[in-house]
Structure 1
Amino acid sequence: MKLLTPNDIHNATFTVHYLRGGYDTDQVDDLLDQAAATIAVLWAELQTYRNTI
């Protein structure tokens, strides 16, 4: 799994579906899944760090 950087989120683009009136929901869901996974990894690292000090 690739961890996201702030730039990955800032520069994310999605296909617009004009007939359905919005973004491609699969693309948005994929980015949100990656963001959640990244936050989970960083949260775990933070908890590990806090337990060592």
Structure 2
Amino acid sequence: MLEKRLEVAREIGTLKAAAGLPIIDNEREREVLERAKKFRRVFEAIISVSRNVQHL
């Protein structure tokens, strides 16, 4: 499942770059982490890895 998530993150990074959009959306990430509650650290790790993949 994480492999698929990273594949999608790469595609999103490509689309963001083509549209001139920033990779990081702090407000969106804050919303996701707020909803994650007890799984917050897991989601923080997933977001971190996804950010790195989008920069490739």
TM-score relative to the length of structure 1: 0.45
Greater Cα radius of gyration, structure 1 or 2: 1
Q: Which structure features the higher share of helix residues?
A: 2
Question: Which structure ranks higher in relative contact order (CA pairs < 8 Å, sequence separation ≥ 6)?
Answer: 2
TM-score relative to the length of structure 2: 0.43
Q: Which structure features the higher share of strand residues?
A: 1
